[in-house]
Amino acid sequence: MIKTTLTTLGLAAVASLSLSSCFPRASAGVQPPRIEVEDTVLLKLNPPSLGIAPEAVLGLKLKITNPNPFGVNIARIQGKLYLDDGESGGVEIPGLNINPTGTSRVETQISIPLNEGNLNRFIKVVQGKSVTYRVDGTLTLEAGVLGKPVLGPYTVFQGVIRDAPLLTAPNFRFRPELTRLNIGFDGITLETGLEIQNPNILGFRLKVPLELKIGGETVAGASLDSVIPARDSGISYLTFRFNPLKVPQALLRGAFNFTLSGRPTVSAPGFGEKAFDFGLLTEGSAQK
């Protein structure tokens, strides 16, 4: 089932391309409202098999015209979503209001569950291509004394998804409050938390072979393997163990500065993988 969130009240219908060649006629004296999708963007894409909820989130800018001289409520929009003419899931949108007359512009988001069948269509957008979509179904109105007329089935709204931003490298931030340093003659253990921010519309698995450097010298290594949802962040906890003879000043002062370096690689089902070639990820300090 697809859920939607509207930032203002209103939704309507446009001419059907597949179910009807004309706009639905008035029912019970109520004229069918009209909707135009002025813009559609892919806000988030979390593919299946990553261990997080697989979904795509679309952001829509709508132009809605209500030809009726009175206000009506949309009790429900129910139907099916089609991506590039392929059926991709059920749609149910409840409880909307429409302004009595005139035209208004609104924004809405639609959350679409992902599966192997519709994933490749959304991956096309991440790759810089366009995907057409439409919602075919019925629209039930609440029109006061005129009852609850049902319009359709027809194409309730339609649009094109395009212009996804290019994939960029994740951001890394050292979290000093999550750091613990244990120094002994048998070794040094540094436990720390690394915040990873994903600025992309694509959720992915991130892998990084890390190098802990002190004074420009590599003293220890660790592996980072984490799933970061689209436009979200997460914390990875890392443990480094190394010989105290490599940093004898740490035994005297109980503190040192360090850097973390690595070559991040992100991957996602249907997308493949992409490596980012840069060295320094973040830097910080540790104190016993």
pLDDT tens figures, 103-140: 877 777 888 899 888 898 888 888 888 999 999 988 88
> According to the model, what pLDDT value does residue 26 have?
58
- Please name the residues in contact with 143: beta carbons below 8 A apart, sequence gap of 6 or more: 28, 29, 30, 70, 72, 73, 149
236 vs 194: CA distance, rounded Å:
5
84-109 residue pLDDT tens? 998 887 777 776 677 777 787 777 78
Confidence (pTM): 0.80
Indicate whether 1 pLDDT > 70.
Answer: no
> According to the model, what pLDDT value does residue 183 have?
82
Grouping H, G, I as helix, E, B as strand and the rest as coil, residue 122 is: helix
> According to the model, what pLDDT value does residue 255 have?
80
263 vs 209: CA distance, rounded Å:
7
175-222 residue pLDDT tens? 999 999 988 777 889 999 999 999 999 999 999 999 999 988 999 999
Which residue would you say has higher pLDDT here, 247 or 258?
Answer: 258
Could you tell me the pLDDT band of residue 146, with boundaries at 50, 70 and 90? confident
Backbone angles phi, psi at 69, to 5 degrees: -85, 15
Could you tell me the pLDDT band of residue 141, with boundaries at 50, 70 and 90? confident
- Please name each of the domains of the chain with its CATH number: 3-161 (2.60.40.1820), 171-287 (2.60.40.1820)
Closest C-alpha to 243, from 199, 187, 160, 178: 187
Would you state the structure tokens that stand for residue 190, as one six-digit string? Answer: 């540094």
Q: Any idea of the CA torsion for 13, 16, 20, 22, to the nearest 10 degrees?
A: 70
Do residues 150 and 260 touch, judged by C-beta distance below 8 A? no
Indicate whether 14 pLDDT > 70.
Answer: no
Of all residues in the chain, the percent with pLDDT exceeding 70 is 88
Could you tell me the pLDDT band of residue 7, with boundaries at 50, 70 and 90? very low
Would you state the structure tokens that stand for residue 162, as one six-digit string? Answer: 């395009």
